[in-house]
Amino acid sequence: MARVAIVTGGTRGIGAAISLALKDRGHTVVANYAGNEEKAKAFTAEHGIPAYKWDVGDHEACLAGCERVMREVGPIDILVNNAGVTRDGTLHKMTFDDWNEVMRINLGGCFNMAKAAFPGMRERGWGRIINIGSINGQAGQYGQVNYAAAKSGIHGFTKALAQEGAKFGVLVNAIAPGYIDTDMVAAVPEPVLEKIVAKIPVGRLGHAYEIARGVAFLASENAGFITGSTLSINGGQHMY
Ligand code: NDP
């Protein structure tokens, strides 16, 4: 059945692949973005997926943005919390701003978007929320206390909201990607990346579409008995 889906950070990287995968499955997709106008315009022009700009770390902006989407496109059935940023550094060098910004956008964004979209899903008795966590939220990562904490928080957020949503037909799951070939990973210095790839059993970085297909599955009717779970898509880099 065709649904209305919103993908935060949905105009490039993993988010763009998620927007396309959901569109391919017949859903009406809206992509949110933060400020990269060039990528957003090109994405909309190429794929016909409308792009809405707001900062997911801004609570009021999320409420107003989702309200606009619901008015212009329809009630939100599927929410994919994908938007994320990194501000890496060892604790020694990390500023409070680095900490706060990563928590505000990565974890705060999930709360803000769920506050806007969950009530309608609950009322209508059907909804899917899929949060993009990270292998580094599961295993930790040197130089990422902010990002690992935020992503780990997303996994806890997912399990808690899944318990609240289940009896209303709202299923909440997470995906924990390993290292995926996007702009975010392109920012990792080459020697560090080589060491990371050497630790991935399948011997390569993942593709954005490999995460997107996981999201599409969790959004589908086939995943009707899955809630509160985390699907690790990481080439075997972290197993548990
Ligand atoms: P990119 O850096 O390529 O893209 C990030 C996206 O998030 C962009 O669309 C960006 O919008 C959007 N975004 C950033 N800040 C905000 C904000 N405040 N409000 C709204 N949108 C925002 O990231 P990836 O595609 O690599 O990552 C996507 C998700 O997957 C993230 O949550 C990331 O943490 C997670 N992840 C990625 C991994 C990887 O290896 N790449 C591994 C594990 C997890 P704009 O285009 O306007 O800048």
* ipTM (interface predicted TM): 0.99
Atom of ligand 1 nearest to the CA of 133: 44
pTM of the model: 0.98
Superfamily of domain 4-232: NAD(P)-binding Rossmann-like Domain (3.40.50.720)
Segments of the chain assigned E as strands:
4-7, 28-33, 51-53, 78-81, 127-132, 170-177, 230-233
In the chain, domain spans? 4-232
Mutate to test the pocket of ligand 1, among 69, 82, 130, 183 (most ligand atoms within 8 A of CB): 82
Q: Determine whether 147 is an active site residue.
A: yes
Q: Spell out the per-residue pLDDT of the chain, length 240, in tens.
A: 899 999 999 999 999 999 999 999 999 999 999 999 999 999 999 999 999 999 999 999 999 999 999 999 999 999 999 999 999 999 999 999 999 999 999 999 999 999 999 999 999 999 999 999 999 999 999 999 999 999 999 999 999 999 999 999 999 999 999 999 998 888 888 998 999 999 999 999 999 999 999 999 999 999 999 999 999 999 999 997
What is the CA(221)–ligand 1 centre distance, in A? Answer: 27
Residue labelled with tokens 């212009």: 72
What is the CA(223)–ligand 1 centre distance, in A? Answer: 25
In this structure, what token pair is assigned to residue 57?
A: 């770390």
Q: CB 233: neighbour CB atoms within 10 A?
A: 17
